[in-house]
Amino acid sequence: MTYLNTIIIDGLSFALPLFIMAIGGIYCERSGVTNLAIEGLQGMGAFVGALAATLVSGMFAADSQAPMFIAMIFSFLGGGLYAVLHAVLCVKFKANQVISGVVINILATALTTFLTSEISTALFGAASNRFRLTTSVRMTVPGLSEIPVLGAVFTNIYPFELVIILVALVAWYVLYKTPFGMHLRACGDNPHAVDAAGVEVSRVRFIAVMISGALSGLGGICFAYSISVQFSSAIYMGYGYLAIAGLIFGNWQIMPTLAACLIFGFARSGGFALTQVMELPSAFTDVFMTLPYIVTLFLLIFFSKSNRAPRALGEIYDKGKR
Amino acid sequence: MRRANPITRGVLFLMGNERRQRITIPVFAILLSLIASSIVLLILGKNPIEAFISLLRGSGILPKEAYAAKKSMLTDFLSLLNAWTPMLFASLSVAVAMRAGLFNIGVSGQMLCAGFIATITVGYTETLPAVVAKPLVVLIGLVSGAVVAAVIGFLKQRWNINEVVSAIMLNYIIRYIVSFFVKATINNPSTRQSWPVSATARLSLMDTELGGLKMDIPLGIILAAVAVVVVHFLFTKMKLGFELRAIGGNPVAAKYAGINVGRNTILVMAISGALAGLAGVTYYLGYFGSIQPDVLISTGFDAIAVCILGNSNPIGIVFSSLLISVIDKGSTYLQSSIGVRQEIGALITGLILLFSACGAYIAYLVNRGRQREEDAKKLSAGTDGKEAQA
């Protein structure tokens, strides 16, 4: 029973940041821009957020939660601003989008590692390769958490999980129910039609890439709070690539992607729990960690007909082309 | 139409025609990134010229002021070659796939797979003589890298699965599985890495005393030089190379011309993977000597950008990968000599890669500028002629 609770609690706290990063990826890819940069975007977002939290932490009481929310706002902005680089390269400079994504990741790792040690030396006088964060509170909903099994969903929730659900709802509404969302989705399938309708394709794509960066940044800082309670280069664990697997699994749609991220999250926490129950060496968690990738690969094989990427994905928009 | 100002005209003249741009544009990208890194260094209050010189000194291209016992410029240069070998192989691997219009983003995974299989099969041997063990390591690396990459090619050919996606999935599957086996079987608890491979199987002769110096002799660099020639020959002289370039240019046209696109897709990925496998064995059983679990090294990702910087051309890649290795290797000395954190090396690399990704846009700007210039010349020549007539 306790194991089941742990699986649900840890699974959710892993799946939701992954989900918000995947939504960012969906925004970017549905607009027709390949996004391999999620890894770098989330790292840069987390860096900016953690830096903001470190700078303001002196103004608040030691157990105050305010720095965390400030960090989330700043990681949102930081990720969005860093994504401008990807947008400029892909949309304005018409660079190859896969290469741009790879370069954005390499640069993010180098830049954040360098800046973290430089800034921590300047701030604290001692070189350190990490920013320490405050421990996040965990909330339990009284009453609802008493329900058997499902109660775990309402137990030990990180505040960021609620923020993510809120942001995800807004993102879902914007993508599927607003004119902007329709233009964005059309840009990924038939950019010429969007252009003919009088909407500027490059502008829509630029905004989509920035939204993608902002959401990835938010996901990054949540991982920094939930997994390690610090920012260091360990943030580049490959969760950005897992988010890409999630959105492909989810067929570039938000609700199926949520399901994919939940499966990934529960597979991970389930794997950890299983190694504990069966008293296996901790190395076995590595074996369970391969599951999301293997499942995605097989899904691509079996559903290669119905799993469909946006039609204009990765293509540089050229007005003159027919 | 007015002609551009003299500075722009000078730049346009220097960049030259499209043939010359293959060299001038990467050089321009490197210059831009050196300017950008100089600004970073100036902000830190360091002299950029001094910093670049110590990068060259640290990598054994320029002599240092003083050396430790049994070390010299030659030993520094040999360890640069040692670090350069895997990077050269990895970049060649990316280039082969890139010429055929495929992205091999799975080089890091293929390297790890090849390195791991070679390590557990031959890596710890004490009985085999070195002349048998070393070629065996190379062969195993070559085959296992080729098999992994061929799977990616097969998935693309059979089910039309994007090679970037399947390569990323395979990267992480390999990373976790290898981590599991390394931790469970060959883990050295004190270093948290696998036990170092035996000297007989290692492709670099480490700490060899020769002429009063202690040097690391990388045997793989000879193999890498051969690979450069072979890849160059493949693209310029062989039918297969021509077919691959045709597919890269336009797969539909290649199919109409009677080229078997599916078979060639698998074949090119296998060749690319074989080179990645060689990168893997020269890294894990050469330069580094052991496997670190939970880590997918960045070489395979850097190689994509290094390949772009070198125009996917084997000769260009020799220079671009050497440059990146010099920065990587020299950054340690940079820290000890002028006190800039060695992370700046990765930052300079990142900036070079960023500007090289803009190469196509720079080329577009230059060619547009040249076109305008020519039009303006023609126009002014035309009006001059009319005035003369009048």
What is the spatial distance between Cα A97 and Cα A211, in angstroms, rounded to a whole number?
17
Least confident piece of the model among A245-249, A317-321, B45-49, B297-301: A317-321
Q: Smallest Cβ distance to A114: which of B172, B180, B347?
A: B347
Does the distance separating the beta carbons of A293 and B180 come in below 8 Å? no
In chain B, how many domains are there? 1
The pLDDT value given to residue B386:
59
| pLDDT tens digit at each of 322 positions of chain A | 577 888 888 888 899 999 999 999 999 999 999 999 999 999 999 999 999 988 887 777 767 778 888 899 999 999 999 999 999 999 888 888 888 998 999 999 999 988 888 888 888 777 777 888 777 777 777 777 777 777 777 778 888 888 999 999 999 999 999 999 999 999 999 899 988 988 999 999 999 999 999 999 999 999 888 887 888 888 888 889 889 888 888 889 999 999 989 988 888 888 888 888 887 777 777 888 888 888 888 888 887 777 677 888 878 887 777 5
Chain B residues whose beta carbon lies within 8 Å of the beta carbon of residue A286: 176-177, 179-180, 183, 293-294
Closest CA to A12 of A180, A150, A213: A150
3-state secondary structure A183-238: HHHHHHHCHHHHHHCCCCHHHHHHHHHHHHHHHHHHHHHHHHHHHHCEECHHHCCC
What is the spatial distance between Cα B68 and Cα B74, in angstroms, rounded to a whole number?
13
Q: Smallest Cβ distance to B169: which of A85, A89, A296?
A: A296
Q: Which pair of tokens denotes residue B118? A: 């070679």
CB of A234 within 8 Å of a chain B CB? The answer is: no
3-state secondary structure B59-87: CCCCCCCCCCCCCCHHHHHHHHHHHHHHH
Does the distance separating the beta carbons of A283 and B183 come in below 8 Å? yes
What is the spatial distance between Cα B61 and Cα B69, in angstroms, rounded to a whole number?
19
CB of A113 within 8 Å of a chain B CB? The answer is: yes
Q: Which residue has the higher pLDDT, A219 or B73?
A: A219
What is the spatial distance between Cα B192 and Cα A303, in angstroms, rounded to a whole number?
40
CA dihedral (A314, A315, A319, A321) in degrees, to 10, reads: -170
Inside any domain, residue B231:
yes
The pLDDT value given to residue B148:
93
Helix (H, G, I), strand (E, B) or coil at A242: helix
What is the spatial distance between Cα B93 and Cα A93, in angstroms, rounded to a whole number?
26
What is the spatial distance between Cα B83 and Cα B304, in angstroms, rounded to a whole number?
17
A73 neighbors A142 (Cβ within 8 angstroms)? no
Inside any domain, residue B215:
yes
Chain A residues whose beta carbon lies within 8 Å of the beta carbon of residue B358: 89, 93, 95
Here the contacts of A121-128 (C-beta below 8 Å, separation 24 or greater) are A123/A54, A123/A55, A127/B341
In chain A, how many domains are there? 1
Q: Smallest Cβ distance to A94: which of B164, B298, B360?
A: B360
Inside any domain, residue B279:
yes
Inside any domain, residue B277:
yes
Closest CA to B352 of B109, B25, B106, B48: B25
Beta-ladder partners of B194? B187
> Tell me: the pLDDT tens digits for B112-143?
999 999 988 887 877 878 778 888 889 999 99
Whether the predicted pLDDT of B385 surpasses 70: no
CB of A96 within 8 Å of a chain B CB? The answer is: yes
Q: Which residue has the higher pLDDT, B330 or B151?
A: B151
CA distance B69 to chain A (A): 30
Domain range for residue A99? 2-302
Q: Which pair of tokens denotes residue B115? A: 């390195």
> For A288, which residue in chain B has the nearest alpha carbon?
B176
Does the distance separating the beta carbons of A245 and B350 come in below 8 Å? no
Closest CA to B178 of B278, B90, B111: B111
* Amino acid type, B61: I
Best mutation target, A106, A284, A316, to test chain B (most B CBs within 10 A): A106
Domain range for residue B321? 70-336
CB of A111 within 8 Å of a chain B CB? The answer is: yes
Closest CA to B247 of B269, B217, B232, B230: B269
Chain A residues whose beta carbon lies within 8 Å of the beta carbon of residue B160: 304
Closest CA to A31 of A194, A247, A258: A194
CB of A122 within 8 Å of a chain B CB? The answer is: no
* Cβ–Cβ pairs < 8 A, chains A and B: 132
The pLDDT value given to residue A141:
76
Inside any domain, residue B22:
no
CB of A308 within 8 Å of a chain B CB? The answer is: no
Provide the CATH number for the domain around residue B220: 1.10.3470.10
* Amino acid type, B21: Q
The pLDDT value given to residue B219:
84
Whether the predicted pLDDT of B377 surpasses 90: no
Inside any domain, residue B165:
yes
At CA A59, angle to CA A53 and CA A65, rounded to 5? 55
> For A121, which residue in chain B has the nearest alpha carbon?
B341
B1 neighbors B331 (Cβ within 8 angstroms)? no
Rounded mean pLDDT of B362-373?
83
> Tell me: the pLDDT tens digits for B258-282?
888 888 889 999 999 999 999 999 9
The pLDDT value given to residue A25:
94
Inside any domain, residue A226:
yes
What is the spatial distance between Cα B301 and Cα B168, in angstroms, rounded to a whole number?
11
Confidence of residue B245 (pLDDT cuts 50, 70, 90): confident
Chain B residues whose beta carbon lies within 8 Å of the beta carbon of residue A111: 347, 350
Inside any domain, residue A94:
yes
Does the distance separating the beta carbons of A241 and B305 come in below 8 Å? no
CB of A94 within 8 Å of a chain B CB? The answer is: yes
> For A129, which residue in chain B has the nearest alpha carbon?
B343
* Residue A24 exposed, middle or buried by CB count within 10 Å (0-12, 13-18, 19+): buried
The pLDDT value given to residue B78:
85
* Amino acid type, B285: L
Closest CA to B164 of B261, B97, B242, B255: B97
Inside any domain, residue B383:
no
Does the distance separating the beta carbons of B180 and A284 come in below 8 Å? yes
| B124 Rama class: left (phi>0) / alpha (psi -120 to 50) / beta | alpha
Chain A residues whose beta carbon lies within 8 Å of the beta carbon of residue B360: 93-96
Inside any domain, residue A318:
no
CA distance A283 to chain B (A): 5
B328 neighbors B88 (Cβ within 8 angstroms)? no
Does the distance separating the beta carbons of B170 and A297 come in below 8 Å? yes
Inside any domain, residue A311:
no
Inside any domain, residue A313:
no
The pLDDT value given to residue B168:
87
Inside any domain, residue B271:
yes
